[in-house]
Chains A and B, each alone.
Chain A
Amino acid sequence: MTRVAIVGVGHSKFGKRTDVNVAELAFESIKQAVEDAKVDRKEIGNVVVGSAGGWYEESLPAVIVNEYAGLNSVGTMRVEAACASGSAAVKAAYNSIVSGETDVAMAVGVEKMTEVDTLTSVELIGRAGSYMWEFENFGMTFPAYYALYAVAHMNRFGTKEEDMSRVAVKAHHYGAMNPLAQFQKEITLEKALGSQVVSWPLKLYDACPLTDGSAAVILASEEAAKKLTDTPVWIRGVGYSSDSANLSRRNDYVGLEATVAAAKRAYAMAKVAPGDVDVATAHDCFTIAELMAYEDLGFCKKGEGAKMVREGQTEVGGKIPVNLDGGLKAKGHPIGATGVSMAVEITKQLRGEAGPHQAPIRNGVGLVHNVGGTGHYAYVTILSRS
């Protein structure tokens, strides 16, 4: 089985992008990735597009995006794993290389969430669970899903609203160093704690924004990678799992079992332990999600997520820096683009190209954690310089 490397990355500015349509937005990342990889587009045998869709006008984003980027008669598909669609796209592109179908493949994540009004976006995300049993009669929202976990976590482990707000403060601190982030402004703990309640106990500053954005990575087989680049970042482990559509069928509400299972598989495949990871992105669609991720990924024991953020263990200089790009909270969360954006961030970190928010790299190992829905899907991808 060939090894697979990331040989090119591209990332658009995230935010409310009223200046571009979905194809133009994807193109920004594709162009950068092609130039970064110095690859001829003709060599790309497979383009996988991660996009949840529904909030922009096009129904078939893969062909719209490929046509605009001059990727003619390429093998392609659009994949959906909710907010983990981007990681699913990377996984599908990875598979096409491992299987020998192609030597070079591209994963593109793109989402355009602000062309519809905000409450329509809220509705479309709220329907992403079990429509029949959770939305039709009970009007679930995305914040409500995670709030159910937050309340259980607070009750079981003594996690406080302040602890969740600390995650937001950290996200904005690093977001301020990322020129591609939607929010590049520091916030205070007081501001986060005092923000509007969306779905108690989650407030506006516990929630990621609605975001337009794209990201792209070009993957290559070991043989092709050696010709293309001196700085390949290898995909060493990919783990993925899922959980019930209905939250009523979950065993508990203090962590995401899909993350635990995905992480276990990814660590085993990469032959690394949580302590080997130099830098990580954790899926912080809500602040409570980041705290649970610390625990579910094995960065700390169950119930100690809040302690990690209180002690600054997930900042630069701490035990394991997490979300130095600002995370979903400050960088923004264009649903289908997020997983690819995370892969771009960790690739840059491992190349030493992350600029002001560069983490110290000791073992050359980084981790991407990308959740779809409320642990409905989970993908953990381990990247390495060697």
Chain B
Amino acid sequence: MSDDPALHSRRPLTLRFDIPISRTREFWDGLRDGRFITTKCKNCGNVSFPPQADCPNCMKGEFEWVDLGRDAKLLTFTYVQVTPASFVENDPYIIAIGELAKGLKVLAWLEGIGPEDAKLGMAMRIEFRASKEGNPYYVFVKA
């Protein structure tokens, strides 16, 4: 703490967001059902990850859901030891970027191994988890 005089403002601002997911709801439902799916534009065929209802390529809004499979290759990673305020209760974690069989990339935690065992190019698999609030999410594990 500094010795400089300060007005200790203590009016807490708590941020709780209700983030709309109605347009990509199938993705989140898919995670609960053990499926990793995303949007494919019916007009131009563009496949997006993260999923989005409106095509960033042709701007059309007609899409279908396609299964991305669960296999990935490790492109890069980091081992986060200083975590943000809202993750202080977590142990250090590995954040990885993996390339899926179809060429799309995904960013997620890599669980189950230590950073010394993470090798670029190694095979990984997507698995499904639920947050303590009950929200579904996905992680990589070593294949």
Residue positions of A touching B, CB distance < 8 A: 16, 18-19, 57, 117, 119-120, 122-123, 126-127, 130, 132-141, 143-144, 147-152, 155, 196-202, 246-250, 253
Contact = CB atoms under 8 A, between A and B. Distances in A.
B85 A122 contact: yes
Contact of A199 (B50, B82, B109, B131): B82
A202 B77 CA distance: 12
A119 B85 CA distance: 5
Closest 3 CB pairs of A and B: A147-B78, A18-B2, A123-B84
Interface of B: 2, 4, 6, 9, 19, 49-50, 75-88, 90, 93, 95, 97, 104-109, 115, 120, 131, 135, 137
B86 A253 contact: no
Contacts of A198: 81-82
A148 B50 contact: no
A148 B120 contact: no
A152 B73 CA distance: 13
Contact of A120 (B78, B85, B120, B135): B85
B104 to A, nearest CB: 8
A132 B19 contact: yes
Contacts of A117: 85
B107 A199 contact: no
A133 B86 contact: no
A137 to B, nearest CB: 4
B123 to A, nearest CB: 17
A126 B77 CA distance: 16
A138 B79 CA distance: 12
A254 B86 CA distance: 29
Contact of A149 (B6, B76, B83, B135): B76
6 contacts: A18-B4, A123-B86, A137-B109, A137-B135, A152-B75, A202-B78
Given A119-B88, A139-B86, A151 B120 contact: yes
Contact of A253 (B81, B97, B106): B97
A138 B81 contact: no
Given A144-B95, A248-B105, A139 B80 contact: yes
Nearest to B49: A248
A143 B106 contact: no
Contacts of A132: 19, 50
A152 B30 CA distance: 31
B115 A248 contact: no
A148 B78 contact: yes
